[in-house]
Amino acid sequence: MGDARKHRKEDDEIDRHRWVKSSACARLLPMPVGRNDPCPCGSGKKYKRCCGAVVPINPVSVTGGARQCGTCTACCDGWVKGTIFGHEMKPGQPCHFRGEGCCSIYERRPVDPCRNFVCGWLQEESPFPEEFKPDRLGVLIIPVRWRTKTAYILRSAGRDPDEPLLAWMREFSLKSDRPFFYESSGERFGFGPREFQIEMLARLERGERLW
As a three-state string, the secondary structure of 45-83 is: CEHHHCCCCCCCCCCCCCCCCCCCCCCCCHHHCCCCCEE
- Whether residue 11 lies inside any domain: the answer is no
Q: Reply yes or no on whether the pLDDT at 141 is more than 80.
A: yes
Structural contact between residues 202 and 208, judged by C-beta atoms closer than 8 angstroms: no
Per-residue pLDDT tens over the stretch 46-100: 766 665 554 443 333 344 458 888 889 898 988 878 899 999 998 778 999 888 7
Residue type at 27 in one-letter notation:
R
For the chain, strand residue ranges (E) read 18-21, 28-30, 82-84, 87-89, 98-99, 102-103, 139-146, 149-156, 180-184, 187-191
Instruction: With a cut of 80, say whether residue 26 has pLDDT above it.
Output: no
Same domain as 171, residue 143? yes
Q: Answer yes or no: is 184 within a domain.
A: yes
Q: Does residue 164 have a cis bond before it (omega within 30 degrees)?
A: no
Domain count, the chain: 2
The answer to whether position 58 is within a domain reads no
Domain co-membership, 79 together with 159: no
pLDDT of residue 172: 95
| Domain span at 188 | 118-210
The predicted structure's pLDDT at residue 143: 95
How much is the pTM? 0.69
Q: Are residues 152 and 197 in the same domain?
A: yes
Do the Cβ atoms of 55 and 46 come closer than 8 Å?
no
